[in-house]
Amino acid sequence: MKTLRFILGDQLSHSISSLQGCDRNRDIILLAELAGEATYVRHHKQKIALVLSAMRHFAQGLEGEGYCVDYVRLEDKSNTGSFSGELKRAVSRHGADRIVVTEPGEWRVLEVMQSWEQDLGVPVEIMQDTRFLASRSEFEQWAHGRKSLRMEFFYREMRRKTGWLMDGDKPKGGRWNYDAENRKSLPRGLTLPERSQFKPDHITREVMDLVTTEFGGHFGEIESFDWPVTRQEALDTLAHFIRDCLPGFGDYQDAMKSGADFLFHSLLSPCLNLGLLDAREVCEAVLTAHDEGHAPLAATEGFLRQVLGWREFVRGFYWMHMPDYGASNFFEAKRPLPGFYWTANTPMNCLAQTVDATRRNAYAHHIQRLMITGNFALLAGIEPAQVEEWYLAVYADAYEWVELPNTHGMALFADGGLMASKPYAASGAYIKRMSDYCTDCAFDPKKRSGESACPFNYLYWSFLIRNEGRLRSNPRMGLSYRNLDRLEDDQRIRITLQADAFLDSLAGLGTLGSR
Ligand code: FAD
Ligand code: DLZ
Ligand code: SF4
């Protein structure tokens, strides 16, 4: 029997289930560079270069280990550009009579995979993706019968299951959650760690040129590319994070600063999502650093919560709610995505900084994604599908299984509360407290209305007014609505009028939102 093992571009792990039991003398491993995967949303140039370069390096590594690799390059004239097309060609090229593949990270690809057996007339084994700490069925069992799914309770279950940061059945230090200690703003003069940078080698350089030629019209800068593209570089990134960033990770997890694109964040998501690093090894390395006295408990717990908690939770949540998850639109938001999400051309400094960093790095850290671009889209009532397409396109770590729950559920509350207990809506006061963006901004974060008022302020109040019927009964919105109740009627009217005029201007009916 001749087996074809198909490895997708985000399955670059030696432990991938589709490689298990591989007979190096007989089996063929297929990897294919696909124009369709670069364009189903128009990915950031660095994202495409990252995936292609990591694929080329991975294939080279497999060949060096004696595997028989069939690698289809983007430039290949016969390349059909799709998973199905390349698999079909490979089956006939090799006379394969069995296909083994690991389940993908996106519903649309699973649907395609499920048609292969019939279309190609050979048995197709779709293996579980075992690179997560909770399997899909384990998540579903945990979720079964619960009225609402909250990350916090899932995370506690995962702590118990792994025994990580546990004293018997109690959390180490007596608390499950050190979030309250992880919300410090950055003290002036604090030295920030350098990002570890990887100079493109000849393979990456070649891919960067290819991306420039083929996808030059896509969003984002390519020349600044310095992402890790091999397993060794990914391990170096992890070591650098643990040494230089982890001790400050907890304290400044929610902070933002002009010109500081990475702060104490790990930059590990592209490596994790491609498969260059495994979630378990990342958590274990961080726990070892804590045991050796290198990282405080709050930082260690804060990091574990992200990987063992959020990352696993959103993955289980995605598969449980697909294929219909993205269809809801709780606030009936319909406005188009403003042009400055692509150009950074806006006098709102927080947005300009975040979009510009995204353009240069294919990266923004979590609080920028959630509380700047996400918060703005929520308050402004931008149509969820347009916001989701943007997030899937612009970040190096974006795959639908992780992007969609974070955008649709967490940032936009478009699912009406399946994922989060309340919308993450915030006014300019929050941004002022957590960043230095407001210092250099054309607007005043202390003003609620008027020409120089921060747009986040009147948009925030107008969001509460507009959605009163949907949100007032939410117990976690009580304080917000008590504050709204203190506004006089004429203030409400002024705010609503200003917010509407501002939003119309974003849609091209005026010039307020753009420079
Ligand atoms: P760190 O701050 O160092 O965190 C460590 C790790 O924890 C990350 O590498 C990541 O693997 C994990 N993590 C942290 N928060 C989350 C989360 N909410 N969901 C899942 N994993 C998490 N993350 C993606 O990997 N891909 C996406 O497409 C993506 N889209 C997002 C869209 C929105 C609107 C929001 C609010 C968040 C999104 N996130 C996404 C989650 C998070 O912002 C990124 O994982 C994080 O910014 C990656 O940077 P880092 O590796 O430096 O993270
Ligand atoms: C994101 C991406 C890109 C840009 N290119 C490829 C590719 O050329 N070949 C490939 O196999 N995978 C690519 N990917 C990753 C896929 O989009 C990913 O496997 C699916 O979205 C499923 O998670
Ligand atoms: Fe952003 Fe408002 Fe601060 Fe300007 S004043 S940076 S728009 S929060």
**pLDDT digit string, tens, across residues 106-143:** 999 999 999 999 999 999 999 999 999 999 999 999 99
136-321: CATH topology: 1.25.40
Give the residue from 66, 15, 58, 13 showing the smallest Cα distance to 33.
58
Least Cα distance to 165 among 267, 277, 301 occurs for: 301
Ligand 1, residue 392: give the atom nearest the CA: 28
Is residue 215 classed as helix, strand or coil in its secondary structure? helix
pLDDT per residue as tens digits for the range 149-162: 999 999 999 999 99
Q: Which residue has the tokens 């660095």?
A: 46
Percentage of residues in the chain having pLDDT higher than 90: 93
Q: Whose CA is nearest to atom 12 of ligand 2?
A: 9
Helices (H), 170-311: 202-215, 231-240, 246-249, 269-274, 279-291, 297-304
Is residue 457's pLDDT more than 90?
yes
- Of 271, 304, 306, which is best to mutate to test ligand 1, by the most ligand atoms within 8 angstroms of its C-beta? 306
pLDDT at 507 over 80: no
For residue 52, the CA-to-ligand 2 centroid distance in Å is: 9
> 31 is written with which tokens?
């990897």
Say yes or no: CB of residue 350 within 6 Å of ligand 3: yes
Instruction: Give the closest ligand to the alpha carbon of residue 45.
Output: 2
Q: Which residue has the tokens 């799709």?
A: 82
pLDDT in tens, 385-406: 999 999 999 999 999 999 999 9
CB within 8 Å of 345: residues ≥ 6 apart: 339, 352, 514, 515
More confident residue, 299 or 510: 299
pLDDT above 80 for 513: no
Q: Please identify, in words, the CATH class of the domain defined by 3-127.
A: alpha beta
Q: Domain residue spans in the chain?
A: 3-127, 136-321, 340-509
Does ligand 2 come within 6 angstroms of the Cβ of 397? no
So what's the pLDDT on residue 510?
42
Cis previous bond, 323, omega within 30: yes
Which candidate, 302, 339, 315, places its Cα nearest to that of 406?
315
- Cα→Cα distances 509→198, 285, 369, 494, 504, Å: 44, 53, 27, 19, 5
Q: Is 32 in the pocket of ligand 2 (CB under 6 A)?
A: yes
pTM (2 d.p.): 0.97
- What was the pLDDT predicted at 508? 63
Q: Is any ligand 3 atom within 6 A of the Cβ of residue 434? A: no
Spatial separation of the C-alpha atoms in residues 335 and 350, rounded to whole Å:
21
DSSP state of 205: H
Q: Which residue has the higher pLDDT, 367 or 147?
A: 367
Residue nearest to atom 41 of ligand 1 (CA): 366
3-state helix/strand/coil string of 155-175: HHHHHHHHCCCEECCEEHHHC
Q: Is the pLDDT of residue 258 over 50?
A: yes
The protein residue with its alpha carbon nearest to ligand 3, atom 8, reads: 428
What is the number of the ligand 1 atom nearest to the C-alpha of 268?
51
pLDDT band at 509 (very low <50, low <70, confident <90, very high): very low
Name the percent of the chain lying above pLDDT 70. Answer: 98
Ligand 1, CB within 6 Å, residue ranges: 265-269, 272-273, 306-307, 310-311, 314, 365-366, 369-370, 374, 391, 395, 397-398, 402-403, 406-407, 410-411
Give the integer Cα–Cα distance in Å for 124 and 70: 18
- What pLDDT digit, counting tens, does each position of 349-358 carry? 999 999 999 9
Q: Is 317 in the pocket of ligand 3 (CB under 6 A)?
A: no
Read off the pLDDT of each residue in 461-466 and give the average, rounded to a whole number.
97
H or E stretch covering 127: strand 124-127
Q: What one-letter code names the amino acid at 497?
A: L
CB atoms near residue 194 (< 10 Å): 10
For the Cβ of 109 lying below 6 angstroms from any atom of ligand 2, the answer is: yes
The b/e string for 143-178 (b: 16+ C-beta within 10 A; e otherwise) is: beeeeebebeebbeebbeebebbeeeeebbeeebbb
**One-letter identity of residue 265:** H
C-alpha distances (whole Å) from 330 to each of 364, 369, 459 are 26, 20, 18
Confirm or reject: Cβ of 443 under 6 Å from ligand 3: yes
Contacts of 45 (CB under 8 A, 6+ apart): 211, 212, 215, 216, 218, 219, 220, 221, 222, 362
Tell me if 309 sits within 8 A of 261, measured CB to CB: no
Q: CA-to-CA distance for 253 and 246, rounded, in angstroms?
A: 10
Query: Quick one: 340-509 is in which CATH superfamily?
Result: DNA Cyclobutane Dipyrimidine Photolyase, subunit A, domain 3 (1.10.579.10)
CA gap 230, 251 in Å, rounded: 30
Q: DSSP assignment of 222-247, as one string?
A: STT-----SHHHHHHHHHHIIIIIHH
For 271-296, the pLDDT digits (tens) are 999 999 999 999 999 999 999 999 99
pLDDT in tens, 177-214: 887 777 787 888 888 999 989 999 999 999 999 999 99
52-88 per-position pLDDT tens digit: 999 999 999 999 999 999 999 999 999 999 999 999 9
Residue 170 C-alpha to ligand 1 middle, in angstroms?
Answer: 27
Helix axes 136-143, 312-321, angle to 10 degrees: 80
